[in-house]
């Protein structure tokens, strides 16, 4: 059976790029980005409501994680690894940043990852430059708020036993991918 490897981090930390590169180097593996269909069409509208209606936003993303977990469990039975961009840890930390008293709890129906990688960017100027390069989304407004972003990062720090931090501030994608592949190889030993 394959491994569930989650790639997490703030917006513009390189999650999508790194996960796609990892999957491309791992024959027979899969790439899942949350939210998945059927949640994607409503994502922008829900993200626009995040600050005004955080509970609604939280339950939308929590439902999408339950759905993604079901998809992931089926893919893992095929034997390949699954690289997942964003998962339960992201949902919990982002919503703790919005002030909700939610906690990380892998319940029945949400598969616990075999490995979670947190891509850190330790320079806000670099993160802002990446946001500008890739194009800003409605959801980026949440992490543009300094107070909320600091609370999100604090929530991630509270769950530091759940992930391995990889600094992606000034490294190239191949350097980050090589570092993560080394970590993944350690899972098999």
Q: Which of 66, 59, 139, 55 is nearest to 99 (CA)?
A: 55
Give the sheet arrangement for strand 4-9, strand by strand.
Answer: 30-33, 82-85, 4-9, 115-120, 164-167
pLDDT digits (tens, 9 = 90+) for 23-60: 999 999 999 999 999 999 999 899 888 889 999 999 99
Give pLDDT, residue 146. Answer: 81
CA distance 174 to 40: 29
Sign of CA dihedral 134, 95, 141, 161: negative
Where does 8-53 have alpha helices with state H? Answer: 15-24, 43-48
Give pLDDT, residue 1. Answer: 82
Give pLDDT, residue 140. Answer: 60
CA distance 182 to 189: 11
Domain map (residue ranges) of the chain: 4-187
Q: Which residues of the chain have pLDDT under 70?
A: 135-143, 189
At 31, is the secondary structure helix, strand, or coil?
strand
Q: b/e per residue, 113-133, with b = 16+ CB within 10 A?
A: bbbbbbbbbeeeeebeebbee
Residue with tokens 């980050």: 176
Q: Which of 4, 22, 42 is nearest to 180 (CA)?
A: 22
Give pLDDT, residue 138. Answer: 58
Give pLDDT, residue 143. Answer: 65
Residue with tokens 């997490």: 8
- The fourth-level CATH superfamily of domain 4-187 is P-loop containing nucleotide triphosphate hydrolases (3.40.50.300)
DSSP state of 22: H
Query: Beta 164-167 vs 115-120: how paired, if at all?
Result: parallel
Could you give the angle at which helices 146-158 and 88-97 cross, rounded to 10 degrees?
A: 130
């Amino acid at each position: 059976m394959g491994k569930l490897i989650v790639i997490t981090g703030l917006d513009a930390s390189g999650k999508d790029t790194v996960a796609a590169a990892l999957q491309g180097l791992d024959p027979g593996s899969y790439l899942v980005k949350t939210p998945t269909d059927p949640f994607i069409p409503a994502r922008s509208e829900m993200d626009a409501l995040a600050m005004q209606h955080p509970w609604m936003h939280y339950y939308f993303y929590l439902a999408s994680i339950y759905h993604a977990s079901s998809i992931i469990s089926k893919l893992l039975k095929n034997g390949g690894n699954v690289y997942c961009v964003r998962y339960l840890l992201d949902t919990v930390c982002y919503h703790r940043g919005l002030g909700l008293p939610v906690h990380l709890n892998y319940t029945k129906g949400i598969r616990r990852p075999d490995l979670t990688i947190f891509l850190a960017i330790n320079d806000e100027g670099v993160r802002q430059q990446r946001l500008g390069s890739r194009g800003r989304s409605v959801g980026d407004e949440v992490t543009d708020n300094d107070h909320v972003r600091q609370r999100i990062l604090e929530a991630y720090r509270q769950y530091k036993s759940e992930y391995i931090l990889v600094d992606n501030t000034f490294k190239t994608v191949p350097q980050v991918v090589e570092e993560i592949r080394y970590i993944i190889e350690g899972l098999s030993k």
